[in-house]
Amino acid sequence: MKTVGFVVFPGFQILDMVAVTVFEVANELPGGPFYKVDMLSEQGGGVTSSAGVTVQTEKFDERRFDTALVGGAMGIPSSTPQLIAFLQEVSAVSRRVASICTGAFLLAEAGLLDGRRATTHWFGALELKRRYPKIRVEEDRIFINDDNRWTSAGMTACIDLCLAMVEEDLGMDAARMIAKKMVVYHRRSGGQSQFSALLELEPKTDRIQKALSYAKQNLKKELSVDELADAANLSRRQFTRAFKTETGQSPAKAVETLRVEAARSMIEEGNHSLDVVARENGFSDPERMRRAFIRAFGQPPQAIKRAARLDAA
């Protein structure tokens, strides 16, 4: 049975605890249980999260763990010499060491990410890069595994992180079964963006939301303004005015944003040719897609495809 040491500290983010559920559900699979999770802290006993919920923990000791996992906080977590020393010690005897969200700052302070690729919650990525220049911070990633140093983005990204660990241990079918039982999509690839175009657009009314949802489900189509207006049950004039007011973008710009997001996900998660990706996401040709990618991401789809291959390797 694989042991997981989950490190928390006063003020940790309680949502990170959902990572434990991944291992809990894994234990219900045929042949289980596979994991034993121990909650750890510097002093042991009750440790209170930023939400005021207290969890019981055991005090740091010299036990060995297959996986050492440190949680994050709503902000950048404070450290103590004892916490940093424990992370350094446990990393030397664990198969893999991981952080959730801003827990990456603790691994970084312990020197465990030097010379490696790492990510964290998007709000702390630039600060992580500034404080620890030896780390190759990739701020727009769901999670990264660099030679068994795992880091993840914030909040629910811990589910993707732990599903990937289970996939490494038990196989893809096991990870899919766990995701299905937890009622989440099968884990997002590590290279997938932390951001969602629909969230960024933030429509205020159901009608504009309906039009955007329609567009996202029909990216292969031309998606004229008239077609989107029909989806929203508005006249072309009403729709165009309301769309600009609510999202700050024209319908054409918003559709392009949805197209490049879907195309990037398709590139990162599959082995499709760029011609196929362009066609499936409504770009008339790969050159139009290339120009849209440069506007959105500052790099062409070929560069993103190379990065995805590196992640897979």
Are both 134 and 49 inside the same structural domain?
A: yes
Structural domain contains residue 187:
no
Average pLDDT of every residue of the chain: 90
What is the rounded CA–CA span in Å between residue 215 and residue 227? Answer: 9
What is the rounded CA–CA span in Å between residue 225 and residue 248? Answer: 16
Arithmetic mean of pLDDT, 186-209: 65
Give the Å distances, CA to CA, from 256 to 143, 214, 230, 242: 26, 14, 19, 18
What is the rounded CA–CA span in Å between residue 176 and residue 309? Answer: 22
CATH number at residue 227: 1.10.10.60
Backbone angles phi, psi at 110, to 5 degrees: -80, -5
pLDDT-derived band at 193, boundaries 50, 70, 90: low
Are both 172 and 236 inside the same structural domain?
A: no
pLDDT-derived band at 84, boundaries 50, 70, 90: very high
Are both 204 and 236 inside the same structural domain?
A: yes
> What is the domain range of residue 95?
2-181
Arithmetic mean of pLDDT, 200-210: 81
pLDDT > 90 fraction of the chain, expressed in percent and rounded: 72
pLDDT-derived band at 195, boundaries 50, 70, 90: low
Last residue of a domain, one of 122, 156, 181: 181
Are both 214 and 175 inside the same structural domain?
A: no
pLDDT of residue 47: 98
pLDDT in tens, 264-299: 888 887 788 999 999 999 998 999 999 999 888 788
pLDDT of residue 119: 94
Arithmetic mean of pLDDT, 138-151: 89
Are both 158 and 57 inside the same structural domain?
A: yes
Q: Which comes out higher in pLDDT, residue 311 or 248?
A: 248
H helix or E strand, kind and range, residue 83? helix 81-93
What is the rounded CA–CA span in Å between residue 262 and residue 248? Answer: 21
Give the Å distances, CA to CA, from 275 to 216, 242, 283: 19, 34, 9
Last residue of a domain, one of 132, 151, 181: 181
Number of independent structural domains in the chain: 2
Arithmetic mean of pLDDT, 149-168: 93
pLDDT-derived band at 199, boundaries 50, 70, 90: low
CATH number at residue 170: 3.40.50.880
Last residue of a domain, one of 130, 152, 181: 181
DSSP string, 105-140: HHHHHTTSSTTSEE---GGGHHHHHHH-TTSEE-TT
